[in-house]
Structure formats: C-alpha cells, structure tokens
Structure 1
C-alpha cells in the first residue's frame, strides 16, 4: 500500500536501525538521492538507505562544499524516508554550525524521519572526504559536537565521521574516534581509507563498535565488496553517489539525443515505461486509497 497509509504505528526509524544492527551480516546502504530512487532501492530488497551530502548538493546544482542548509537536508530526508519507509542514514556534513546548531540539526532531521546522522570533523568550507587539503576541527571541538548531537536526539543514531586518516594518519584517526565514542557516538565512520590493511587496522582498534565504510566511486578507497568490508569488521557500507551518477549520465545522454535529433526516440529503449513508473510509485494504490477515503466520508455523512 502507499506510504501515506503505512505511516501510522511505524516504529521510530532509529529504533529500527538499532535492531537491524544487532542482527548478523553487514547492512548494505545504497545512496538514494530522491524518493523515486528510494522506492527502486526498496524494490531491489535493501533494508536501509543512505542520503549523501554530495548527492543532495549535486541534485540542487551545487558543489559539495557545505553550501546546503539543514532545512535543505530535511527536505530530502522527508522524501527518501517517507517514500521508502526504510531506515535512512543521513549525511549532516559538519552539523551546520557549532554545538547549538548541531542540536537543532539533529532534532530537525530526526523529526523529518532520519534513522541516523553522521557528523564529520572538518571545518567549513568542508570538502568531499576523498579530496585533498581538508581542514579539520580540533578533536575537542568535534567531541563537543558529538555530545551536543547525543543530547538532542531521541532514538536517532549519532555516527561520528573522522577525516583525519588522510592528513594526520591512521593512529590520529583512531585517537579521534576514541574521543568521539567517549562523547557518546553510537558508531564511527572512518573516511577515505586506502587499503584493506587500513580498514582492518581501524576495525581492530574498536571491537564491538559499529563501523561504517564508504564505497564511493572515483575516490581513494579501492573497489571492495560488501562481503569484503564485513570481513574487515564493518557493520555498514554505503554507496553514496552511485544512483545519482547513473541517473546523471543517463540524463546527459537524453539531452544530447534531443538536441541532436529533435526527439527522444533514440532513448526509448532505456526509459522506464509509464506502467513501470506507476507500479514503482504505487499510483493505483493511491487512487484506491483516495477512493476508500471518499467512500468512507460519504458513508459517515449519511449516518
């Protein structure tokens, strides 16, 4: 049925994510950059989703430099979490400010439907974790943000991301992560690790702590599978921008075809049909729900 009818009595997203992380097997979290992508990922059988700051920024025609606001992110969260009904891990960049701003961000994103947020230890203007010349906050300042996030949440998980491995080394990233856990983080996201040995060494330092791995394309991390990340000791893996990259490439080819041919005919074999789209978005379920509500209203009015 439609997600509108499923919202009632749904267990909080953070609680559902915690329960899933207690089960065996790595949690695979593909990126979903809008509600339609979220529905398609759910159809493919995924149990959770990831909402990437880079994907949200690019969807808005912006670079991933911390230009978005918390309100922008909440808009995407409502789409992805609302459409899919799945627990969504959300990229909250640097928390959009200092401790009080982080508290407001966490509260807003949890209200929008997020199951978890991750906050990174960069300072503005922040960069994609796989680029060079990232500037880091002090460990103490970042720990204060983590503590503020934990103070503001109800059920949502707080994941602390550290970008320190690239500039300060693995041991410094491990030391930062320990401090963030002491501040109350539920999980750790070590960004831009570059080898299986680094992933294993980081995981060995945190037995029993849920760790998140990032399998982005065109970055510093070699192409590992979910099974390999699980063997390294990771509880979650994301493919943050993959759906957007594929969609953007297809759109690029579509617009080139229309400009060249004056028609989209050449792209028809690559298009989702109207019937397939309606099936994905539950078009007729919405119609049936609307009819049921109308019939119920008429019936009550005649009593």
Structure 2
C-alpha cells in the first residue's frame, strides 16, 4: 500500500491544477506554512546546509541530515505532505534506494532527484549548478531503482540540462526519466512558453514541476492558469521564506546593535509565537532521528550503532541500452 504522504503528493500531481510549494526549514516555519494554507511544503538542501551546517549550497547536506531534519517536521505539518531534495541520490542506484527509504521513514512524501554529478568544484559559488551532469542512462537507472524498490515515495526527477545543452537534450532526458518511472519532471531553467509547450507535447500525461529559486535570478511572471494549461502542477519556492527570515533577523540584529531599542523591531507578538508552538502533549512527539544510511548491506549485518538494517530487496532488471545511452523505448526527439 502506498504511504499517505506519497499518496497526497501524487494527488496534487494528478489534480489538474497548480499548487505552490514553499520551502520550510524547521518545525516553526513548517507550522507557519500550514497556517497560511499551503497544501505541500519543501525541505531544500540549501536550507538544511544553511540552517544546520552554516554552509552554502555546495552539495554538503547529506541524506541523513535532511532525513533527520524532516523527521522533526511531522507534528507541525498536520498531514500536509513534505517534499525534500535528494541531489542525485548519493552515488549509484543502491545508494539512491537507501536515500529514498530513509526519506520515507522520516515521513517525506516525495523526493526531488537531480542529475548533477556530485558536488561542484570547491570555491564555485554557483553551488550545485557548477557541477557536471550525470549521463542520461545512469541517471535513469537511479530512478528505475527507486520506483522498483521504494514505491512508497513519489519521485520528482529534475534535469539541469537546459541552461547549457538546450531543449533537445532536456527533452531527451525528461522522456528517459519519465520512462524510468518518475511521477513528475522538473526541467530546471525552462522559462519559455514555447519550450514548455514542446516539453508538454513530448511528455503526454506527465506532470511538470517548475522551480522558482532566488539562486537562479529573476524569473518570468506567469499566471497560474497559464502554467496549469502547460501541464505544470507544482511550483517550488525553496528559498523565499528562509531569505525573508534572514533579512528580518539581520534588520533586528542591526537595530539592536545600533540603537538598543527593540521597540523599533517589527516582529511577531510573543502570544502569537507561543500559540504557534503548542505545549507538550498537544501533538505527538517528534520522531527520533532516522538511522544513518549508506550502501546496501546484506541481510543480518548490523547497521550503524548496532541497529539491524536489512539490505534493500532485489530490484527490477535495469533498462537495456539502445546504443544512444538511453533505456529501451526512449528515442531522441528532433527538436
């Protein structure tokens, strides 16, 4: 049986309308998003890297820390599904499966699986956008492994091919990832109505997801109805709220340092803050952090700390190559 969080995400993808998904980073921000009426929220690698590690988004947030943070959000979400970044699934297909299983145990309903090749060159401030792409076939194999062995979590397959390689390569990869079983496709950087329309035509029935991140610079303004007509079902806003919170905190700190007058600081009233965070017993306690995950272990071998972690089940056969580096049945479109 599919988990409730995954079912909720898949229901949004199949609803025929657009849903905006904001980023959260802790239980308080998650509670604010739910109170604002959002139907899904996102835990991004950038938010975890910044708020847990004090680092920029250079692929430094491991799956275990994202899963651990996600596990604390459940009581605040009141059933609203959580999406989370998964980079490229952390190495090969078996590690991708373990990532998905850890996310599933943490209550995550969908993971966003990219096709960047690991972390960028140190010092490259473009973040993960400065890393090269995984070849299409191994990227599709990760998705196939996930959908075969971890079906209780939805998969949003992201490709970053468009900015450097154009629409043809983007369509090729999107078709491969959809054929491998992805629930939805996120073509990062595609912001042109004609190109979105061609992607929709190349992926009949496949929901599209758009990313609206401040890290990518100004984005085209779309009407929700326009995007929905082009097959877009989710728009992710991973950084807007955390950047707004950092801006507000910076202003408060400067005001205190310069004047010592906290009355000039625009802030949430204390009563509203305490109401945001219910007393113990109002909600079930947050789950304990999930166990550390890593490459598959054979059944019977102890995991970290002595915990018994069975290895993942055998998955379906890998797609056969076609001579183009793609799974069988996926052909390059002449775009």
Greater alpha carbon shift after TM alignment, 40-49 vs 198-207 = 198-207
Q: Counterparts in 2 of 1:40-59, with a 5 A limit?
A: 40-59=32-51
Q: 1:228 to 1:54 in 2, by over 3 A?
A: farther
**Does residue 232 of structure 2 align to residue 234 of structure 1?**
yes
Question: Given the superposition, is the C-alpha separation of residues 18 and 132 from structure 1 closer, same or farther in structure 2, using an over 3 Å criterion?
Answer: closer
Hey, what does 2:118 align to over in structure 1? Answer: 124
- CA separation of 1:101 and 1:132: change in aligned 2, threshold 3 A: closer
Shift in Å at residue 130 of structure 1?
A: 8.9
1:271 counterpart = 2:264: no
Look up the match of 2:296.
none
Q: Is the 8 A contact 1:130 1:219 kept in 2?
A: no
| Distance (whole Å) between structure 1 residues aligned to residue 32 and residue 107 of structure 2 | 19
Which is bigger in relative contact order (C-alpha 8 A, separation at least 6)?
2
Query: Residue 70 of structure 2 contacts residue 106 of structure 2 at CA under 8 Å; is this kept in 1?
Result: yes
Cα deviation digits, residues 26-47 of structure 1 (max 9, x gap):
1221111221111111111111
RMSD of aligned Cα (Å): 2.5
Counterpart residue number, 1:101: 95
Instruction: Name 2:308's counterpart in structure 1.
Output: none
Give 1:6's aligned residue: none
Match of 1:223 in 2: 221
Instruction: Find the partner of 1:68 among 61, 64, 72.
Output: 61
Question: TM-score, with normalisation over the residues of structure 1?
Answer: 0.84
Which moves more between the two structures, 223-232 or 30-39? 223-232
Extract unaligned runs of 5+ from structure 1: 1-10, 290-303
Tell me how many residue pairs correspond in the alignment. Answer: 278
SS at match of 2:216: coil
Work out whether residues 51 and 91 of structure 1, in 8 Å CA contact, stay in contact via their aligned partners in 2. Answer: yes
CA distance 1:128–1:98, shift in 2 (3 Å):
farther
Q: What residue is the counterpart of 1:286 in the other structure?
A: 282
User: 2:175·2:202 contact (CA, 8 Å) conserved in 1?
Assistant: no
Q: What stretches of structure 2 of length at least 5 have no aligned partner?
A: 286-335
Contact 1:32-1:80 at 8 Å conserved across structures: no
Whole-angstrom CA distance in 1 between matches of 2:186 and 2:270: 40
More helix by share: 1
